[in-house]
Amino acid sequence: MPEMPPKWVMEKYAKLWVKFKDKPFNSVQAKKIMGDLKNPSIFYSELKKHGWLTIQLDPKDSRKSIYTLKNPQKTIEEIGQNTKD
C-alpha cells in the first residue's frame, strides 16, 4: 500500500516526474536532473518502500537498474482509498 514519503524525497520525485513521467530511466539520467545526492540508493529505496517507484534490472547489464515512477495522481488516490476516516 502506498504511503507519503518524506518531504525531501517528494521534492526529488517531483523533479524526476516533470522530466520522465512514467517512462523508464536509469541512474545516470536521474543524476542529470537531481544533481548529486549524498546517497542515491537511499532515495530510490525510500520511493520504492513508500510505493512510488518500481525498480527492475537492466536487461543489458544486470549490475544496473531501470527505474519507473508511479503516477502521482493514481498513487495519491490509492493512499486515499486505504486511509480510514
Give residue-wise pLDDT tens across range 4-62: 999 999 999 999 999 999 999 999 999 999 887 889 999 999 999 999 999 999 999 99
CA of 58: how far to CAs of 21, 27, 50, in Å? 19, 11, 22
pLDDT of residue 23: 98
Cell of 10: 517528494
Q: Is the pLDDT of residue 81 over 90?
A: no
Report whether 43 contacts 30 (CB < 8 A). no
User: DSSP code of 25?
Assistant: B
Neighbour count for residue 84 (Cβ, 10 Å): 3
Neighbour count for residue 72 (Cβ, 10 Å): 16
Domains and CATH numbers, the chain: 7-77 (1.10.10.10)
Q: Provide CB contacts within 8 A for 78, sequence distance 6+.
A: 1, 2, 51
